[in-house]
Structure formats: C-alpha cells, structure tokens
Amino acid sequence: GELGGGPTSAAGGVAAPGMTTGGGGGGAPTGNESVSLGTATQTHEVRMPMLLSTFKPATGCTNASDFIVRCFVARLRSGITVVKHGRSRWCKSRLRVLHVHSDGRSLSWKPALGEPSSGKRPPKLDLTTCREVRHAWSPDPDNPMFTGTPILRQKCEAANAHKSFALIFPKRTVDITAVTADQCKVLMEGFSALCFRLHVAQKVAGGDGKSGSNGGGVGEGNNNN
C-alpha cells in the first residue's frame, strides 16, 4: 500500500537531484539535530527522519532540500488544480486550485475555472500545524483496521485511491485526489518537504512545535469546504 517508484521530477519537468523513495531511518531528532538540519538543508541531499515528533511525512518521502521546497512553493503560488473532497457528507467533491500565500506557509484554495463558488471565504490553513501527509493507502492511526481518512474512505472512489492523499491537521483533514498519479507523488513529496522544513524552522527558532496548534489554521471554523 505504498507509492512505489524511483526518482521523480519537480516543477516543470525539472529533475530533482537526490530524490529517493523508500524508508527513512532514525528516531526523533534531538535539539542539536534540529539545528544541524536547519543548516544542512542548503545541500541537495537532505533526508527527513521518519519519526519527527511533530510531523510525519508521507511514506517514501525523504528529501527536504531547498531545491524541492523552492520548486514546490513556486508551483503552489501559481496554483495547482486538484479534486478536493468536502468535509460535509452533503458536499460534493470539486475541482479546486490549491495555492500558498506570500508567507510561504498559509494554504488556501479557490474554485477552479467553471466551478460554482460557494460564496464562503475559503479557509487559510497554517502548514506549520500540519501533523502528517498521508496517502489513501497508508494506515489510519485513529482506525487501525482502515487506511486513509474517514473522508477519503467515504468520498474517494477505489479506482482513484492510488492518486489520493490527505493533509492531517489537529482538528480537520484536507482530502485530495490528484489529477494523475504523478501529480499525487509531486504533491505528497512537496507538502512533506515543505511542512517538514517549517517544523524544523520552528524548532530552530526555539519553538516547541505546538505553537499555532489552534485547530489547524486561521479561519477554518465550521466551514465545510
């Protein structure tokens, strides 16, 4: 139930150096390791410990280099169209354009061209509070007999599970089906790298990894988007 594959490419078909898939190793980093990670990420070979205490990257995503993060943020700023599954059982799954704000950490989305607008202000989620990037086939810790998330299990068709994933926040999930399997891989690798770097930066700055964990971001409230 893991995404397979070898080297992948980042934005615009530019090969990302040092991108590998497969298990990472090591336990949760100490404070010193966090500081060294913060400085080492200028190279192209940055491996994410799979057991960072505040964040779990998607299975097989182990590269958090500046190159990966910069390419991904550039794509997010221009917008990436995906199918987003609404949280309410009455909400249909719709095409949405994911984008990141100028601060490089606030995620939002808007209806794709031709899609109806709900009239609601879209949520603005702080990626520093994202706890996990989880593929639809990865185990659900809250429901060990199942994979993915409750929303993915309810709304994602089995034929699309291979290209679906979720961003796990303290009080909500953002459940996504990519247009293609390749896009899903790029998104999972990108969000894993970006969120990991944001968590490391928070530790280096002296944070405890809990700041801003007020439910996953500003303005999410009871919006079912």
Output the 3-class SS for 88-137: CCCCCCEEEEEEECCCCCEEEEEECCCCCCCCCCCCEEEHHHCCEEEECC
pLDDT band at 122 (very low <50, low <70, confident <90, very high): confident
Q: Are 73 and 107 in contact (CB under 8 A)?
A: no
User: Which residues, 6 or more positions from 17, have their beta carbon under 8 angstroms from its beta carbon?
Assistant: 44, 45, 65, 67
Contacts of 51 (CB under 8 A, 6+ apart): 26, 27, 28
pLDDT given for residue 190 in this prediction: 97
187 has pLDDT over 80 = yes
Q: What is the largest CA-CA distance in the chain?
A: 50
What's 184's DSSP letter? H
pLDDT reported for residue 51: 58
Q: Residue 86 gets which letter from DSSP?
A: -
> Which range, of 1-15, 104-118, 184-198, averages the lowest pLDDT?
1-15
Mean pLDDT is lowest, of 49-53, 87-91, 110-114, 178-182, for: 49-53
